Amino acid sequence: MKKLYILFFTFFLLTNCSSKEEEIYTPVPYNLEIPTLFAEKLIAPIIPSDNPLTEEGVALGKKLFFDKILSGDNTQACASCHNPKKAFTDQLQFSAGVQGVFGTRNAMPLFNLAWNFDERFAWDGKEFGLENQALEPVLNPIEMHANWDIVAEKLQQNATYPDLFLFAFGTSKINATLVTKAIAQFERTLISGNSKFDKYLLGETPLTSAEQNGFNVFMDEAKGDCFHCHGSNNNPLWTDNKFHNNGLDATFEDLGFGAVTGDPNDNGKFKSPSIRNLAFTAPYMHDGRFATLEEVINHYSEGLKRSSTIDPLMKRVNEGGVQLSNQDKSDLKAFLLSLSDTEFINNTNFQK
Amino acid sequence: MKKQPYLLIITLLLFAACTPEKECCVQPEQFEVTLNFTHNWDRLEFTKQDFNELKFTNANGERLSIEKLRYLVSNISLLDAKNHHLIDVGENTGTSISIPNLPEGSYVLSFRFGFSDEDNTDGAYQDLNSVSFNVPEMLGGGYHFMQFDGKYLDTNTEESGFNYHTIRAVDRTDPNNLEFEDTSFEVNLGTIKITNNTEIEIEVNLAEWFKNPNTWNLNELNTVLMPNFEAQKMMSANGKSVFSLGAIN
């Protein structure tokens, strides 16, 4: 008789558990559309196993990205400095935070972040992992200047957010970890891979003779020699996501990567940015010192400054650089602009 | 008493049945072999911690530093299928290659430095594309064999950069008709007997790139070496004494 009760009780427990499980909503896996060239040429993007992309997670991340609720005084969102119409930068040398204080680094554009295989983010590589990166600007006193506990509480008291978190993560209890997971999911969907040059590589459109010569300058070790750091037709990221001193300064006010690693040999090194979407992302360099692409090209051609950590790939430093002809400079610019992806900046999936 | 002959017959049958089965299924023991690439400058071992300082002197008397060092080996003989491995000393990746389940026996240990022409297919390897190890199409495409960047003290005692990059040699005298020479080379480290789990050291003496048989003058040959047909052939010749067999444990 006793055994019968135990059996009955166990059966009751099991049926009860299974009905609860059925109530938990399972988010829909997000189908990340990977451009043909990326799929052909590159290893798989980095998607953490504890934060897979889901429809609900990406949608929540997008809502959060554009929501000023993340800032201390509800005046700024991530999108305030990372505008999708400007390839997710703001075309300012430095950006002002919620209290009007300007930073010292140029807002980085955001795209193809899932292919940053080393997972070091920001100009100086100080943030490891996209989820982790999203924590910092919210706290930074010269950016959004908020407190994560307060942000989480504001979201918790919001009429819609608790349900959105429940659908995305199976819990309506909101915290910083889940907020940054959602934002990171959205950021991983920001893929730019449909520029004119991509279409050229796919055989869909020809290049002008200027663009073609500019590409040759880019790839020629005796001319631009840009490809060692900025990708090639075989690396459609157009960056190595590594840290280099590209000869901007003889001495360093901003140590960059060196301040992060503590190694003086890394002083003055900053991440090589992708050269995609340059038409939308001026000004250039980590401190936005160059307003135009002409200035950038002139820097590599005649403006290099010697320092102890200058990259050995910077050539003819004594002469200031590789001494490109005016024609080559002009053509190089034409090639660089052919990597601009208007479909990306107009993609409604990425707009508010 | 009557049972005993039956028992004997059954026992014999069992033995007879088992013996051939045993013979058919005996597998040679399998072991894990690990290849460890260690790096030295004329017997002085170095690691990433020794980068960025002018602490090495080449055969031509030039002081130099190492800032980036990565190279490709392919078709290691202990592995069955075609294979390639990028060894990046600065990133401390690829220096140890594990080969599991190698049956006991004697093996010739060899590999190729770089890619042979047959394997050097432009853009074909996603892992190498992803770390920008490609060679421009104007030089025939394919992949670097080595990227060795650093600085040397030039004749004006100024630090200057060098890019000792090895690729398949290409003669661009006629840009419309490129002539190639396969400058990858096989490294044969002899026969190794594997009787248990084994660690094999492969010593890489970087100084050899600068001295044997060609004494390398960094003041003359420092950058833009990829399109330099003669320089590539000289580098390939020097590379052949870079690798040697180290300790086996």
Confirm or reject contact between A46 and chain B (CB < 8 A).
no
Residue A1 lies in a domain: no
Write out chain B residues lying below 8 Å of A247, CB-based.
Answer: none
* Cβ-count burial B188-199 (b if 16+ within 10 Å, e if not): ebeebebeeebe
Residue B4 lies in a domain: no
Chain B window 158-217: which residues touch A at a Cβ cutoff of 8 Å? 158-163
Mean pLDDT, residues A186-211 taken together: 98
Mean pLDDT, residues A221-249 taken together: 98
Confirm or reject contact between A250 and chain B (CB < 8 A).
no
* Cβ proximity of A191 and A111 under 8 Å: yes
Does B226 sit within 8 Å of A312, measured CB to CB? Answer: no
Across the interface, which of B52, B151, B223 has its CB nearest the CB of A315? B223
pLDDT of residue A23: 66
Share of chain A above pLDDT 70, in %: 93
Q: Which domain holds residue A220?
A: 196-345
Q: Is the same domain home to A223 and A327?
A: yes
Does A318 sit within 8 Å of B158, measured CB to CB? Answer: yes
Rg (CA), chain B: 25
Query: What is the spatial distance between Cα A281 and Cα A288, in angstroms, rounded to a whole number?
Result: 10
> B20: pLDDT confidence band, cut at 50, 70 and 90?
very low
Domains contained in chain B, number: 1
Query: What is the spatial distance between Cα A181 and Cα A188, in angstroms, rounded to a whole number?
Result: 11
Over 60: is that where the pLDDT of B140 sits? yes
Chain A window 273-312: which residues touch B at a Cβ cutoff of 8 Å? 306, 308-312
Q: Is the same domain home to A40 and A154?
A: yes
Q: Which of A221, A308, A310 to mutate to test the interface with B (most CBs of B within 10 A)?
A: A221
Query: What is the spatial distance between Cα A128 and Cα A32, in angstroms, rounded to a whole number?
Result: 22
Q: Could you tell me how many helices (H) and strands (E) chain A has, helices first?
A: 15, 4
Chain B window 93-112: which residues touch A at a Cβ cutoff of 8 Å? none
Residue B7 lies in a domain: no
Q: Is the same domain home to A52 and A129?
A: yes
Alpha helix positions (H), chain A: 2-23, 36-41, 55-65, 78-81, 130-139, 148-157, 161-169, 176-188, 196-201, 209-219, 227-230, 257-261, 293-302, 326-337, 342-346
pLDDT of residue B8: 54
Domain termination site, one of A163, A191, A219: A191
Domain termination site, one of A141, A158, A191: A191
Q: Is the same domain home to A89 and A170?
A: yes
Q: Is the same domain home to A240 and A294?
A: yes
Q: Is the same domain home to A90 and A53?
A: yes
Q: Which residue has 């002018």 as its token pair? A: B54
Does the complex come out with an ipTM higher than 0.85?
yes
pLDDT of residue A21: 42
Write the DSSP string, B63-123. EE--SEEEEEEE--TTSSS--EEEEETTTTBSSEEEEEEEESEEEEEEEEES--TTT--TT
Hey, what are B210's tokens? 């600068």
Does B132 sit within 8 Å of A42, measured CB to CB? Answer: no
pLDDT digits (tens, 9 = 90+) for A22-31: 467 899 999 9
Domains contained in chain A, number: 2
Mean pLDDT, residues A54-58 taken together: 98
Rg (CA), chain A: 24
Confirm or reject contact between B122 and chain A (CB < 8 A).
yes
* Cβ proximity of A286 and A256 under 8 Å: yes
Q: Is the same domain home to A162 and A241?
A: no
Residue A335 lies in a domain: yes
pLDDT of residue B27: 77
Mean pLDDT, residues B149-178 taken together: 96
> What letter would DSSP give residue A28?
P
Average model confidence (pLDDT) for chain B? 92
Query: What is the spatial distance between Cα A233 and Cα B135, in angstroms, rounded to a whole number?
Result: 10
Query: What is the spatial distance between Cα A336 and Cα A333, in angstroms, rounded to a whole number?
Result: 5
Give the N- to C-terminal CA distance of chain A in Å, as an integer: 65
Q: How open is the CA angle A68-A74-A78, to the nearest 5 degrees?
A: 30
Domain termination site, one of A191, A225, A246: A191
Residue B1 lies in a domain: no
Over 90: is that where the pLDDT of A212 sits? yes
Could you check whether the bond before residue A45 is cis, i.e. omega within 30 degrees of 0? no
Query: What is the spatial distance between Cα A96 and Cα A295, in angstroms, rounded to a whole number?
Result: 24
Give the pTM. 0.91
Alpha helix positions (H), A189-292: 196-201, 209-219, 227-230, 257-261
Q: Return the bridge partners of B188, or none.
A: B110
Residue B10 lies in a domain: no
Residue A144 lies in a domain: yes
The CATH number of residue A98's host domain is: 1.10.760.10
Confirm or reject contact between B138 and chain A (CB < 8 A).
yes
Q: Which domain holds residue B176?
A: 30-248
Over 70: is that where the pLDDT of B9 sits? no
Instruction: Please classify residue A261 by burial: count the beta carbons closer than 10 Å to its beta carbon, then call 0-12 exposed, 13-18 middle and 19+ buried.
Output: middle
Residue B22 lies in a domain: no
Question: How many Cα atoms are found within 13 Å in the side-chain-facing hemisphere of A39?
Answer: 6
Q: Is the same domain home to A163 and A275?
A: no
Mean pLDDT, residues A193-207 taken together: 98
Hey, what are B139's tokens? 């030089």
Residue A155 lies in a domain: yes
Residue A23 lies in a domain: no
